[in-house]
Structure formats: structure tokens, C-alpha cells
């Protein structure tokens, strides 16, 4: 039994999260917050993992009784998901929560999912003030607490080893093996106490409001890169590649942005990413609009080259349009997180990184029963497990890349999660 009803504005979505394993998708205070689990599937590795996840969700919801009194994307049954970067890696997951609290464009709603229909009929609308004893008026059982002292440890490669990996990649590119490859590194944190994912979400959402703050199956982060959004037949994507730091001085900050827009290295790297997304979406759309040139996306700590893409899905022969999971499947991996050509870059990543990325740089997001949803690329994130966390960062490598500069860029990309852990 699934029921969605309007509710009064719940305030901060993160503060409403209950218990362990929070599920979240929040940007500028809007989005979805979920807790509890009705069902979870760990999707087997393989090229068909998105299709397998979609089939599992459809089978799970087949025959469900749905009472939706709001009727917006993200209402009714919603599953949160996170997929591995490499199709050969295990660990992709899709979770159907017991409770989802949503807010968008001044409207808020509450979805509850149970195994059996309720004994009493569902009201068409809840009171404007939430009832005492309701699922929202009760405070969280344990408020978020800091993890205490955090110590840092090298991941699979030390900084000098990773610089050598970048140099090796540049050599392969100059030899004509490929045009671009994205190399990442990891960093481990060990804390004195348990790491509460809700605290990380709270800090990330407050500090990076223009990013998509997410939590799914222990993977927590704030990513700027929208892989695909589907609302009915309309889709949108935001391609990011090419990075420069921010500066406190406005003139210096503007100069850094202008330098990024003029950088041959960064515009080349960005061009591969934008072209790849366009090529993947074009066969699925009867209308597709791609910005002619990249613009600057300025975030709190870095600025990126960004290309906005929007379109309308074409109706297939059977009268349907692809679900957001099918679209994520068509797009992943993009050149922004893998390289060009894809297969050559993937093989080089496996050779040089010395690690399994897991769900880092894979799609993360949500999907509803109508196939609507939003999926980002899991960047600026960490896998949290008790008192330990594994952080990830990286950058695109092309022929003009400098290993020391790439290391500095990766270290800058670690900082959002490092500061979220430290306070």
C-alpha cells in the first residue's frame, strides 16, 4: 500500500531524517528525504544492471495499491539508487523506503509505503499543521552528533604514485591511444566515533546549496553534475568538465573564470564530455537543444565549464518513452568521468588507478513508478561505514595535462567531504 498526501511545509528536509541509512536528494532546500526500507536489491554486476534494476522495481510495484493525492513527479512509490562506475564491479543498489518526504515549488508531500492496505481510509488532505504523534512531528530518535577527531590515510596510491599515473596517461594520449581519460584517487578517514550520515548531509546541503546533496546505501556527497532529469517526456542534463579554483577577491575570481573559459586544455576536455552526452541522447529524442558554448558554473569552492542540454523524448513504437533508468544506462559512463573513446579509457582506468571506484562516479538518484526521476554523477562523495569513510576525487587528463596541477585539482575536490567530516 502506497499513499501520498499533501502536508504543511516540514522545514529543513535533512532535519526530518530518522534512524540509520538515510536516503536523500536535496538541492536548494527542495527534493526528497527518505527513511526505513520496504525492499532493497543489490543489483548483480554486468552491462545490463540498469535494466535488471528497472525490472526488479517494476515487479516489486506490480499490483501495488497507490493512493496519490498530489500527482507530481516524485510522488507515489519512489526508489533511491546508486550504481557502480564500472559494470564489472559489484555493489549497485536500489532501495524502496518506508517513508518519503518531498518538497518542490512551495508544495510538500508525504509518502508512506506498507506491506498491507491501512485499516482506515486515507484522508484526501492532512491538516495544515501536522498532527501530534504523526510521522513528522516526532523528533529524530538520536540527533546527529559529530564523529570526533578524524585521521587521514593514503588510499590506493600515494600522491607521488598518482602523479606518475597521470604522466603515464598523458604518454598514452600523446601516443594516439585515446583523446582523454579521467583518473581518480581515494583517501581514507578514520574517526573517533561513528560517522552520522545525517550530519554530513546537513553540512553539505548548507555549504553547497547549488549542488545535489545525496545519500543512498552509505554513499554520501554533494555533486554538481546532473546526468539526466526526466519529468514526463521532458529531459535535461548538465555537462561539467574543466575546473578552476575560486578566489576571495572578486577580480582574481573573475580572472580565474576567464582563464578557464579561454583554456585550450579545459575546453578540449569539456568538448569531449558534451559531445558524448549529445550523441547518447540524440537517438532517443525528437527534439534536443545543446548550448553552443560552455558557460561558467560557480560553486562555493570551484568553478566548472558547463553545457546545458534539454530535449523531448521520442515516443517508441510501443507507445512508451524510456524511463529515467534507461536514460542513465544510455549515458553512463560519460566522457566527464571516463574518457574518450570509452572502452579504451575504461581499460586504462582499471590499469592505472590501482583501485575499484565502487559507486564513485556512477549514477546516483531516484526514480518513481512512472519512470520520472533525477540522476547525477556521484562526485564529491564518500562511502561511510561506521567510523570509517572512503573519499574520492579526480580529474580529466588530456595531452596538455600537468601531473602536479591535476593533483592539486584532485586535492581541492576532496575538501568538501573533508570539511563535512571535520566540522
How many C-beta atoms surround the C-beta of residue 201 within 10 A?
A: 26
Render pLDDT for 178-212 as a digit per residue (tens, 0 to 9): 999 999 999 999 999 999 999 999 999 999 999 99
Query: Each residue of 344-372: b (16+ CB within 10 Å) or e?
Result: bbbebbeebbebbbbbbbbbbbbbbbbbb
**Portion of the chain with pLDDT greater than 70, in percent:** 93
Q: Which fold has domain 150-196+225-422?
A: Anthranilate synthase (3.60.120)
The closest alpha carbon to 266, from 399, 415, 414, belongs to 399
Distance CA 359, CA 218 (A): 10
With bands split at pLDDT 50, 70 and 90, how would you rate the model's confidence at 44?
very high
Q: Determine whether 47 is exposed, middle or buried from the number of CB atoms within 10 Å of its CB (0-12, 13-18, 19+).
A: exposed
Distance CA 1, CA 67 (A): 8
Name 4's bridge partners.
68, 111
Report the chain's mean pLDDT, rounded to a whole number: 92
pLDDT of amino acid 178 = 96
pLDDT of amino acid 152 = 97
Domain ranges of the chain: 2-113, 150-196+225-422
Render pLDDT for 335-380 as a digit per residue (tens, 0 to 9): 989 999 999 999 999 999 999 999 999 999 999 999 999 999 999 9
- 344: Cβ contacts below 8 Å, ≥ 6 apart: 177, 178
Res. 54: pLDDT tops 50: yes
The closest alpha carbon to 274, from 313, 242, 324, 240, belongs to 240
Q: Assess whether 229 carries a catalytic annotation.
A: no
The closest alpha carbon to 94, from 385, 381, 391, 368, belongs to 368
pLDDT of amino acid 257 = 95
Render pLDDT for 62-104 as a digit per residue (tens, 0 to 9): 889 999 999 999 999 999 999 999 999 999 999 999 999 999 9
414 with 405: CB under 8 angstroms?
no
Output 20 or 103, whichever has higher pLDDT: 103
Quote the strand ranges of 30-179, DSSP E.
30-35, 39-43, 66-68, 78-82, 92-96, 99-104, 107-113, 150-154
pLDDT of amino acid 142 = 66
With bands split at pLDDT 50, 70 and 90, how would you rate the model's confidence at 7?
very high
Render pLDDT for 314-342 as a digit per residue (tens, 0 to 9): 999 999 999 999 999 999 999 989 999 99
Task: Indicate which residue of 30, 67, 174, 225 is catalytic.
Answer: 225
Task: Indicate which residue of 90, 128, 163, 180 is catalytic.
Answer: 180
Res. 127: pLDDT tops 80: no
pLDDT of amino acid 136 = 61
Distance CA 269, CA 343 (A): 17
First-last CA distance in the chain: 40
Res. 129: pLDDT tops 50: no
pLDDT of amino acid 119 = 45
Q: In the numeric block, which cell numbers belong to residue 90?
A: 559489484
With bands split at pLDDT 50, 70 and 90, how would you rate the model's confidence at 133?
very low
- 37: Cβ contacts below 8 Å, ≥ 6 apart: 21, 95, 96, 97, 98
Q: Assess whether 180 carries a catalytic annotation.
A: yes
With bands split at pLDDT 50, 70 and 90, how would you rate the model's confidence at 138?
low
Res. 122: pLDDT tops 70: no
Distance CA 268, CA 259 (A): 14
**Portion of the chain with pLDDT greater than 90, in percent:** 86
With bands split at pLDDT 50, 70 and 90, how would you rate the model's confidence at 128?
very low
pLDDT of amino acid 115 = 74
Render pLDDT for 262-306 as a digit per residue (tens, 0 to 9): 999 899 889 988 999 999 999 999 999 999 999 999 988 889 999
Amino acid at each position: 500500500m502506497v499513499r501520498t498526501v499533501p502536508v504543511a511545509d516540514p522545514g529543513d528536509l535533512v532535519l526530518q531524517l530518522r534512524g540509520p541509512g538515510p536516503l536523500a536528494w536535496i538541492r536548494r532546500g527542495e527534493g526528497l528525504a527518505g527513511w526505513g526500507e520496504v525492499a532493497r536489491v543489490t543489483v548483480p554486476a554486468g552491462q545490463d544492471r540498469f535494466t535488471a534494476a528497472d525490472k526488479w522495481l517494476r515487479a516489486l510495484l506490480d499490483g501495488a495499491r497507490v493512493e496519490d493525492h498530489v500527482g507530481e513527479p516524485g510522488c507515489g512509490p519512489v526508489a533511491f539508487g546508486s550504481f557502480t562506475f564500472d559494470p564489472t564491479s559489484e555493489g549497485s543498489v536500489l532501495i524502496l523506503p518506508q517513508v518519503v518526504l518531498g518538497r518542490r515549488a512551495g508544495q510538500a508531500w508525504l509518502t508512506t509505503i506498507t506491506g498491507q492496505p491501512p485499516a482506515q481510509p486515507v484522508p484526501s488532505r492532512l491538516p495544515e499543521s501536522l498532527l501530534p504523534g504523526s510521522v513528522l512531528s516526532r523528533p529524530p530518535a538520536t540527533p546527529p552528533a559529530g564523529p570526533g577527531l578524524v585521521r587521514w590515510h593514503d588510499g590506493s596510491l600515494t600522491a607521488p604514485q598518482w602523479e606518475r599515473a597521470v604522466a603515464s596517461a598523458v604518454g598514452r594520449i600523446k601516443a594516439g591511444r585515446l583523446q582523454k581519460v579521467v583518473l581518480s584517487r581515494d583517501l581514507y578517514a578514520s574517526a573517533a566515533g561513528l560517522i552520522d550520515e545525517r550530519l554530513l548531509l546537513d553540512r553539505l546541503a548548507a555549504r553547497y546549496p547549488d549542488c545535489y546533496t545525496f545519500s543512498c546505501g552509505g554513499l554520501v556527497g554533494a555533486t554538481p553534475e546532473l546526468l539526466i532529469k526526466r519529468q514526463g517526456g521532458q529531459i535535461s542534463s548538465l555537462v561539467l568538465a574543466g575546473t578552476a579554483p575560486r578566489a576571495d577577491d572578486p577580480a582574481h575570481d573573475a580572472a580565474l573564470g576567464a582563464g578557464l573559459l579561454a583554456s585550450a586544455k579545459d575546453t578540449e576536455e569539456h568538448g569531449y564530455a558534451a559531445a558524448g552526452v549529445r550523441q547518447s541522447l540524440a537517438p532517443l529524442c525528437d527534439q534536443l537543444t545543446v548550448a553552443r558554448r560552455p558557460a561558467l558554473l560557480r560553486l562555493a569552492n570551484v568553478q566548472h565549464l558547463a553545457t546545458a542540454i534539454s530535449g523531448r523524448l521520442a515516443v517508441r513504437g510501443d507507445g512508451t518513452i524510456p524511463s529515467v533508468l534507461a536514460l542513465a544506462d544510455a549515458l553512463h559512463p560519460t566522457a566527464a568521468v571516463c574518457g574518450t573513446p570509452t572502452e579504451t579509457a575504461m581499460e586504462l582506468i582499471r590499469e592505472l588507478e590501482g583501485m575499484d571506484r565502487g559507486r564513485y562516479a556512477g549514477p546516483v538518484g531516484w526514480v518513481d513508478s512512472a519512470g520520472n526521476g533525477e540522476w547525477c554523477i556521484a562526485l564529491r562523495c564518500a562511502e561511510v561505514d561506521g567510523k570509517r569513510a572512503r573519499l574520492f576525487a579526480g580529474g580529466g587528463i588530456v595531452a596538455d595535462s600537468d601531473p602536479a596541477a591535476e593533483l592539486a585539482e584532485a586535492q581541492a575536490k576532496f575538501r568538501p567531504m573533508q570539511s563535512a567530516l571535520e566540522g
